[in-house]
Structure formats: structure tokens, C-alpha cells
Homo-oligomer: A and B are copies of this chain.
Amino acid sequence: MYNMRVSYLATIQQTNLFQNLQPATLEQLARNPLVRSVEEGGFFFMQDDPARFLYVLSAGRVKMSQLTPDGQQVIMRMIVPGQMFGGVAILAAGQAYPAAAQTLEDSQALAWDGDFLRQLAAHDPALSVNMLQLMHAYVEEMQARFREVVTERVEQRIANAVLRLAQQTGLRLQEGGIQLLISRQDLAETSGTTMYTASRILTEWERRGIVKTGRERLVITNPHELVSIAENLER
């Protein structure tokens, strides 16, 4: 039990949202988290569920996605350990989650009640400041992606998506290269295209020696070339 508490503290301390808080605030957070485990493919919450909890991922990977009325999925962001999701819960009660949170592998998250966090924020303004900063960063990312999807062709957008993923979740391999774990489908839904087009582009990149591909896997062997595709320094 003591070990578990310690491990929560480690996650809490690594979380952007919880930087620069007063010791008493961290204490409170460490005392009260709900811990939820969700197996691969399961959901922490669905779109439009009442947003009662704010989550911080402690293990695994999660995709946040919206569903269109006709069933198409659009991925808004990927969550890796240490990142907050479901942040809308910290605003006024009675809100709904704007997206679903589905796990890509067996995952675990800490969760706190929105009411509780609002009380905490009232005593420690750093919490609001951090939240504001995260929200702002997220606005900028969505603006950038909106601009991309409106102005760039698919290959460029996929390059940007891959580079973004590499930065957030990439694993440097001993034998060189940066490995991403993502299916063609999810890559397509992140870039606003179809699995077919994503597959064709990856095949072409592999032919050119920019990446190696595998099932739900992708290794970047020539990041420099990828950047130059992303920046449209070709054609």
C-alpha cells in the first residue's frame, strides 16, 4: 500500500498540470486519487458522458477521438503517461466530455473529482495557471492542425502527424531509428485521410528509405527527409 502511494506521487510529480504546486496541494492530490485500469480497446469515458473526473495517465496509451453523426472517427490527440485528459471536468460541473478516451493498450490512470479540484484550485492558484497554460498549448496545436488540414496535401499532413507522434511517444531504438506504435487506420484518422492513402504513402516512404513499416508499427530511419516533406521542400 505504501508503495502504491509512492508510485502515485511519482506520476503526480511528473505531470505538467501539477508543477509548482504547494506541498500541501500535492499532499492532497496524493491522498485522494481514484485509480482506474482499462484494458486494451476499452474506454475511460465516452463522448458526451457527464464530465465528473479529470484523469492523468499513469501507464499505457490513450486516444481521444470524436465520432461524426455518420460514424466516422476523428482523433484529436494521443495521451501518454504523465499527461492530463478529460480536463473539462475542472470547469463548472454538469459539462460533458467532448471526446471519447479509448485505450490503445492496457492502461492505468489516476482520477480526481472536478469539485475536489476546484476546491484545490481555490487554495492554490498555480493549479489554474497550469491548466490555463495547457489549454492554451492545446488551442495552438489544434489551430496548427486546422491550418495544416486546410492548406497541405495528405503526404505533408501525414509527415507532420508522424513527426508529432515521434516527439510525443517515439522510442529511440538501439539499432537506430525512432519507433512509433500506431496502426495505419489511427494514423489516417489523426491526419484526416483514409487508411488506403496512408498505406500507399508509407509504402512509398519505405521504398525511398525514409521509414521501415510493420503491423501497427513504424520506424523512422531518416527523420531529416521526413522534416523536409513536412515543410514541403519538395516539388
- Residues of A whose CB lies within 8 Å of any CB of B are 66, 68-70, 72, 74, 76, 87-88, 90-92, 98-99, 121-122, 125, 128-129, 131-133, 135-136, 138-140, 142-143, 145-147, 149-151, 192, 231-232
A100 to chain B, nearest CB (A): 12
Please indicate the chain B residues that have their CB under 8 angstroms from the CB of A74 in the complex: 146-147, 150-151
Of the candidates A76, A121, A125, A151, the one having the most CB atoms from chain B within 10 angstroms of its own CB is A151
Please indicate the chain B residues that have their CB under 8 angstroms from the CB of A139 in the complex: 135, 138-139, 142
A161 to chain B, nearest CB (A): 12
Report yes or no: A91 in contact with B132, Cβ–Cβ below 8 A.
yes
**Given A125-B128, A128-B132, A146-B192, 19 new contacts (CB under 8 A):** A66-B147, A68-B151, A72-B151, A74-B147, A76-B143, A76-B146, A87-B136, A90-B132, A91-B132, A91-B133, A92-B133, A99-B143, A121-B125, A135-B135, A142-B142, A142-B146, A146-B146, A146-B149, A150-B192
How many monomers of this protein are in the complex? 2
User: How far, in angstroms, from A133 to B92 measured CA to CA in the complex?
Assistant: 9
User: How far, in angstroms, from A72 to B152 measured CA to CA in the complex?
Assistant: 10
Please indicate the chain B residues that have their CB under 8 angstroms from the CB of A91 in the complex: 132-133, 136
User: How far, in angstroms, from A61 to B149 measured CA to CA in the complex?
Assistant: 26
Closest B residue by C-beta to A127 = B128
Please indicate the chain B residues that have their CB under 8 angstroms from the CB of A122 in the complex: 125
State which of B66, B70, B143 has its C-beta within 8 Å of the C-beta of A66: B143
User: How far, in angstroms, from A88 to B80 measured CA to CA in the complex?
Assistant: 26
Closest B residue by C-beta to A152 = B68
Please indicate the chain B residues that have their CB under 8 angstroms from the CB of A121 in the complex: 125
Please indicate the chain B residues that have their CB under 8 angstroms from the CB of A128 in the complex: 125, 128-129, 132
Please indicate the chain B residues that have their CB under 8 angstroms from the CB of A231 in the complex: 69
Report yes or no: A98 in contact with B145, Cβ–Cβ below 8 A.
no
Cβ contacts A to B, 30 pairs, < 8 Å: A66-B143, A66-B147, A68-B147, A68-B151, A69-B232, A72-B151, A74-B151, A76-B143, A88-B136, A91-B133, A91-B136, A92-B133, A98-B140, A98-B143, A99-B143, A121-B125, A125-B128, A128-B128, A128-B129, A128-B132, A131-B132, A135-B139, A142-B142, A142-B143, A142-B146, A145-B146, A146-B149, A146-B192, A149-B149, A149-B150
